[in-house]
Structure 1
């Protein structure tokens, strides 16, 4: 096989001595190199600064930098997506919006290690909030009667004082000797780890899809691998995240699995576009 395209995204979240929290996301790929960041108040998650920079893009067409003053003062949490879309849309190829959205996701995940600062007196109270807020939204929270381990037990007692959260997503697209393509990816963060391989026909139709989980909060999460064959027969390049989520289980699926599948579809789309 011949490697045609690579893409790696890394997000890290840190607690600062100033009483703030900083999320940074970097992207390095065959066609792009960029970074974005959000600095927010540690307790309220109210944004104090947000910015981005693209260092390398095809022909330099997307190169540039900017700050997103429109989200300053907003809470960097689930409800900020609309504000980000309003401020950024698809400017600069959608790269700033994607990376800043990853920063927000990182802040949400990092909350596990600053529960007291965020207003939850005990790990159990934090678990109770998520059980109610995220009920019937993924495999884990749709099967609470089946889980064998609570979230706080899975995370453990180890304190994080500076670095709070890390995530890495990698995608590679290969050209096979039969003229078809293989799009392979991994998702690894502080709580989860999985890998997926998509085999595509020369015109981008999924002819095989397989993968598995290596780390997850509970065994019920590992069951999400059963959704992958449902992608077979679909034209993968350019599949929307909504379509992927519906195919990969909906409320019985996994948002992180959908995340890496969406990146794989996007990477395949880049190859098929000839960029």
Structure 2
């Protein structure tokens, strides 16, 4: 067994001067290194500055830095995707948009520790709003009648002052004589989970299992069974929408979708290089 590919993502959201947030997302992997950054108002989440840098990419084709002035005034919240598609598009092969989208996700996740700035008198009132706003969006939100721990109870006691949110994702591919072993992991301020998969050299999933180490409620841990449904699929032929239908949706977990998509991209990259006669 030989390690032939790695990639890691990291996102953090911090309070900075003058009531602003700084969200940064970085990706570091076998084929590239890049970062994206958003500054936003901590009350309105209005974007004040947006930019990205690509330090390393295949043959240097995406290397360079650029600002996205068209994003100023946009709200870094749900539905920001259309603004990112319009203003950033496919710059750096889509990597720039992906990095800034990670920053937006981070800002959304930091809202738990900004409930007063966002106009909610208590954490409990914020969580009640969130439950109505996000009903049926994941297994937790679709099974509120079964959960034993509300979100405000889960985060009670977590101390976030200047640093509001952290998230890391990683993926590693190992080459076997007759296939691949792929592991992808996810850890943020609220969750921790992973996927482990074995594939043949055509990209077909022979085995896939999920594990949850941290989550808001035991009901979330039930999602660990969903990745088994990927067995038999040729992963490189799957679109993200198909993966979402299998491990995401009202009875799934969006973080599992992220991991499955990272797994798919890693397998596509490594198999393409193997077919070219190289390993990486």
- The TM-score with structure 2 as length reference comes to 0.95
1:197 paired with 2:208, answer no
Q: What's the Cα RMSD here?
A: 1.1
SS in 2 for 1:111: helix
SS in 1 for 2:18: coil
Alignment partners' CA distance in 2, 1:182 and 1:86: 37
Q: Which moved more, 1:85-94 or 1:131-140?
A: 85-94
Structure 1 stretches of 4+ with a deviation exceeding 3 A read none
Q: Which moved more, 1:150-159 or 1:103-112?
A: 150-159
Deviations 1:168-215 (A, max 9, x none): 0000011112x2111111100000001111111110000100121000
Could you tell me how far 1:10 is from its partner in structure 2?
0.3
1:227 is aligned to 226
Deviations 1:90-140 (A, max 9, x none): 221111111100000000001110100011111111111111111011000
Does the CA-based 8 Å contact 2:40-2:46 persist in structure 1? yes
Could you tell me how far 1:237 is from its partner in structure 2?
2.1
Does the CA-based 8 Å contact 2:210-2:226 persist in structure 1? no
Deviations 1:208-237 (A, max 9, x none): 001210000000000001111110111112
Could you tell me how far 1:17 is from its partner in structure 2?
2.6
Does the CA-based 8 Å contact 1:26-1:34 persist in structure 2? yes
SS in 1 for 2:87: helix
Q: 1:223 to 1:20 in 2, by over 3 A?
A: same
- Gaps in structure 2 of 5+ consecutive residues: 274-279
1:112 is aligned to 112
Deviations 1:9-48 (A, max 9, x none): 0000001132100100011000000000000001000000
1:259 paired with 2:246, answer no
Does the CA-based 8 Å contact 2:201-2:271 persist in structure 1? no
Alignment partners' CA distance in 2, 1:88 and 1:174: 34
Alignment partners' CA distance in 1, 2:77 and 2:266: 27
SS in 1 for 2:104: helix
1:93 paired with 2:93, answer yes
SS in 1 for 2:145: coil
Matches within 5 A, 1:48-127: 48-127=48-127
Could you tell me how far 1:79 is from its partner in structure 2?
1.7
Alignment partners' CA distance in 1, 2:98 and 2:237: 15
SS in 2 for 1:141: helix
- Gaps in structure 1 of 5+ consecutive residues: none
1:273 is aligned to 272
2:183 is aligned to 184
Q: 1:214 to 1:84 in 2, by over 3 A?
A: same
SS in 1 for 2:216: coil
Q: Which moved more, 1:154-163 or 1:103-112?
A: 154-163
Does the CA-based 8 Å contact 1:237-1:272 persist in structure 2? no
Could you tell me how far 1:250 is from its partner in structure 2?
2.0
SS in 1 for 2:196: strand
Deviations 1:216-262 (A, max 9, x none): 00000000011111101111125322111101142100001111111
Does the CA-based 8 Å contact 1:138-1:250 persist in structure 2? yes
1:214 is aligned to 213
Alignment partners' CA distance in 1, 2:237 and 2:99: 19
SS in 2 for 1:260: helix
